[in-house]
Amino acid sequence: MKRLISFLVFTFLLLFASLGHASGLPESELALGPVRVKQTLGQVEAVLGKHSNMKDNVFPFGPELQIHIVSYYFGESFEVIGRKIATTSWPTSELPVVGMTCHTTDYATPSGITMGDNFAKVTNKFGQGEVIPPANLSHPLPDCTYYSYAVEHTAYTMSFAVDAQNIIQLISIREEV
């Protein structure tokens, strides 16, 4: 009986561990090229040079707080997002990076995944991920399926837009709020 219980517990733990691996990425994957989450936008510009375009928004968040969101664009295919919730204005260069979107082969994740790779490179390493319903996407790429992966021990997700030929067309990292 004790062996049966031990076997069932081991089987359950093995199943639980494999399910967690199927959709979780390690925190070390929170980068594209030289850009990592939690860097400041100023640190990003020190590495990539001056951004080519910028969107800067401040939203009230309660009576005394505001959310400052800035998107830096490096060319047309790489966006880096900084955000801060604060009581006063915050220098743009000091905003921490909370997300990025890559639509170019110029940047790869730390494990070497880049736009243009076969999605099997992701699934072989991290499992299938969760399909994002099209209704949850604001501007989806046509004819692509989006897969999302939770990043272990963080509020971040990494998503991949994958075309009908199973080729990655876009990589996105976002902090869920």
Cα 131 vs. chain centroid, distance in angstroms?
15
Residue 168 is predicted with a pLDDT of 98
- Report how far residue 9's alpha carbon sits from residue 21's, in angstroms, rounded to the nearest whole number: 18
Q: Where do the domains of the chain lie?
A: 1-32+108-177, 34-99
- Report how far residue 124's alpha carbon sits from residue 101's, in angstroms, rounded to the nearest whole number: 22
Residues 128, 166: contact at Cβ < 8 Å? no
Mean pLDDT confidence for 77-83: 97
The more confident residue out of 5 and 102 is 102
Residue 23 is predicted with a pLDDT of 55
- Report how far residue 118's alpha carbon sits from residue 148's, in angstroms, rounded to the nearest whole number: 16
Provide the residue type at 63 as one letter: P
Residue with tokens 């664009």: 73
The overall average pLDDT reported for the chain is 87
Q: At 81, which helix (H) or strand (E)? A: strand 78-86
pLDDT at 9 > cutoff 60:
no
Q: Is 42 in a helix, a strand, or coil?
A: helix
Residue 157 is predicted with a pLDDT of 97
